[in-house]
Structure 1
Amino acid sequence: MSKRPHEDSVFSKTANFLERSASTPGNSISINELLSNSEEAEADHSETHARKPRNFIASVACENCRLKKTRCDESRPKCGLCKALNLECVYSERKLSKKDQSIGMIISTLHRIETKLENLPSVISNDIRPITGHVLQAVEAIQASASTTAAGTPSARTSSHKFSLSQNTSPAATNLLEAETQGSADGKEIISFSQHGVVVWPGIIERLPHDFLSVYEQIGRNYVLDVELERPPLPMWVNSPFGLPNTGNWLEELPFALVKGLCEAFFSLFHPFTPFMDKHFFFSLTLGTVIKHGFSTTIETCLVLNVMALGCLAVRAYEEADFPLPGTMGDHFERPAWFEAVLEDPPGLSFFNEARKRMGFLMEKNNLSSCQYYLLSAMYYTQIIRPLDSGAMLNRAATCLCFMLANRDINYNEWEGDMKSRVFWNTVMYETILVQELDLPPSGLLSLEDNVPIPKFIPFKLSSEITRLPDPDESYYHQSESGNLPRPAVSIELHKQVEEWRKNLPSVIQFSEKNSDTTLNDDRSPSISGTPRTPTSLAVFFGQLLIFHGIANSDEPRLRATLPPGWERWYDEMVEFLEYCSAYSPAISRDMDLVRLL
């Protein structure tokens, strides 16, 4: 470290001042003069001599320089000291300082701002695009009406029909046509998710016959909603099933085998596709409460009756597909003793009406059970092809969910929270389909999808008060003439041993866990299957017929080659199935009128 010379120090100047003062006789020195003299000396020194810069400090010194405590010149690959001593020069990894971290945060912030500025033109163009779409639509309509020479071309037909259809559609459908026009102006084609919207696809409408387009223009794009609004409601009074007298307590006289069989049919057929119910909870508590206290005016009774109504439809599906009922032996359907209970038209209407009567006094509730009831009702209306009634029940279920989920802290890692998640996502899927098909306004349930996680299917656990109750599945799937059933632990261990034995078999005699032989007949109609109709199956048939017709009549050979082998037979099967269902739905009857014009 460098030192200042003695003559430049403050103390030396002070000593010289004292010597000069002492040599002058009669002069006395005060403390103020002494202090002021030292300050002046320091000021003079700061003015004449600038402070020397700090010696160089290595930001990352090598390990040898650190050990010897010498200055490292940071030369690479070896510093000067290591090169002189012929040592291995190793630099440790430099740690980021607070200054470097601050610079990194500033750079990332600037990058985000730059990204937003780059996306700003696209946002502005999206705001201006609706106005441009209206102008383009008006110009296109004027050109289509004024052009008489090109009236027979596909493009002229497409634009003219789009303009005429927009005058006979609902606001939701009009918005869809505007979106299609906007997409065309942007160079991207936007097609409708709705199966009935396949008609206005650019590649389909060009291949449709003129008679088809004329009739479609007359009835309007939203004809499904129009005819369903004029449909009469379901009858309130029907003859009681199972040959029982039509009395007020006919439900109390139902045999337990009937109740159990219908509930099992529902959970084996409908539940895998729409798992918003918990089977273990239903058989342990919901059904147990109804069996114990009777079919009173409770939400548990309404749930059981709706499940039984859907169970009647499931039994008819098993009969149609010739599949054995769950819990029965054999490879074919065998009518149970209570089969007369499902012979109504539509099946299960008696149970469904009894549930509707009781729900009238419980409709103000907005809990999980009420939401499940409305979802079950929507499923029943869907199966008997009443889409508008199904949409009303879905809207009521969405309202219950908004009450339950909005502004509430829910633990989705517990059974109750997970059940709400299951009900939420099933409702969202159902509603998305119906909103697109019927051009209905959404309920706003999608605004909660960021707050509701995907369900984990947490199993229901019985409380300590009822853990002594036997598992209902033990009596449903086991039968013993002596009445002595094996303990659950023994059954589980036997199943494990059988599984281990199956896995250790030689490869030549290995077999899968499930029997590969099925009762499905290849010659059977594709429309007849053990799977229930989903909310869009009939609409999907209508859309597929249009797509097959458009591809088959395409001018491009490569596009026609994409049709699967035997598509003509599948086409005829779909037409036959739609014609069968047209007797149960006026909307499908209108679909068939259009299909016959292809």
Structure 2
Amino acid sequence: MTTSLQHLLQNVVEPESPTPEANSTVPGVSAPASTSRKRPAPRGTAAYPRRRAVKACETCRSRRTRCDNKKPSCSFCEKVGAKCVTGPTDFSSFDPASLVIIERLDRIEQFLRSEPSDESTAKESTRKEQDSPANIDSPVSNPPNGPDFSTFTIETVLSWPVFQNRFDSRLDLKALLNHEVLDAPSAIVNSPIENFLAKDLEPGAYTRLLNTFLKHVHPANPILDVSLLCQYVQQACINGIQWDAPSCLVLLVCALGSIAEAFHSQHQSNSMFSRNSSSFIMARSYFEASQKRIGLLLSRNGILEAQCFFYSGVYLMTLQQPMAAWRFFVQAAAISQGFDFPRKYQQSENKGLTGARHDRVSQESVYWTCLKSELEVRMELSLPGFGLQDLSYPTSFPSPPLENLEEDAARAWYYYLAEIALRRLANRVLYNLFQNQEEGRFPRISLMVDSVIAFEKQAADWMTSLPPMFSLATPEAEDDVLKFVLRGHLLDCYEWMYFPFMLEAINYNRRDPLLDEYTTKGLAMSVERIHKNKPGFYHRHHGAWLMLRSCTRSALILLAASHSEYVQDLVPEGWKEAVFSTMDMLRFWEDEVGDARDRLQILTELMSDLGYRM
């Protein structure tokens, strides 16, 4: 690089002297006497015309005052806090030599920008090495090349050295998810959908499905204005289903209301029993009718349109179709990126506009929910962000609703805020891991201990901050679905904290008393995750597939430890029961979920290696 730079500098041409034609006296010809008595002109007068001083900034020009051209801001702009903008430099009055020099300097600048120096690279490396727990409270920013979510998936655990490449041919998650579930044929589904809607939707059916939706689906994502939703349903009862966004939302509410169930419901021996039930067949009809209308919403960017795409994703997640669901979450998140609630917030505060504040609350809640759902599914699928935020969340929480909330609405809102706070903690944990990993390993594992201690304290503070209705100190058997989900997300945080220690110890024998402490915590957390998620093993909801994945990952980590020669003394009690429970869960879903069937086979093989059979 130094040689190239010297070459650029050496090639700067010397300024040319003024041409003969530019002088008033031609060599070899005597000048008139009158001319010889004049004072000689300064050298280069004709070739180097005088030029005006540097232009004033736009602010000073508009005021018609002198500008001192200080950089980056002139004195006046600095004093009044104005943005100091200077128009592009006019080179038309520059002499030829100056133009050549400017051109060469531009080339040198471009060269330096294209090839950063070793010194700057070293500084960047030093900065990464010096990352400390003091920074873990900072807002999350994305790694330069984007976060590698695959580090923490089932597929990565299956590729660990402890398994000796035996599962390398079974790492294609997308191929497994392409497994097509054949639902039972139905006369309703095979008939024209519009005929079904016109004939079979009674006001009583609308009301029943709406109530089920509000009881079992809405609390997990309280992004709808319930009174406005009831108006949409009432209009559908009176005028029928139209070809607009409100009717699309009503159909999605009916679809979800048809398949929603209570948390502690009794279940059959296999998930396909419910898939082939009449309620699921009806739900399918509602959903297909909604999809005939959702294409009309693609060119719009309102709150209602984002809600329709979001609940389409929720329906597909409930049917264990994460790839299809993710596409809808992406579209919902893309719409919400265009919301203007930061600007409207300032306007509404200044003007005291209740309607504007209400719109802002709705926009914020939809924005947060779409962002959270898209990120959760994308992380598990190891998909790129496509321009959406990877790990960065807005710095503020959503604004609370303006009206006084009833008990159920207040509960949903507290859950919503608690989940967002926990998601932020999870993102900080993940970003800390991304900063410290190199090619799937954590070479500076000892330096991560202080960060983990700080994260543990943040998790404890989060639990302390929960309102009594969401206290996690109560027995798990008393949990409703909201507390169940919060427990699961908290376990995610802990398992990610300890993941690097388990990876390094199980596969590479990174052992010492301090590292063993966190490896032991991680393995114990894997057992605890499976135990605490067991009440929801057979519950169908839009986070069920994510629960299947996280519990299966925990079971595989326990089996990896049991197969490793390095950590036999750290394997916790109860690990076998935890793995068998996970196998029961996968067996329930195997006919419906393509990756569940394959992962069940893998767990069975690994348990057989250890002499355990079912």
TM score, norm. by length of structure 2: 0.47
Which structure: greater helix fraction?
2
TM score, norm. by length of structure 1: 0.48
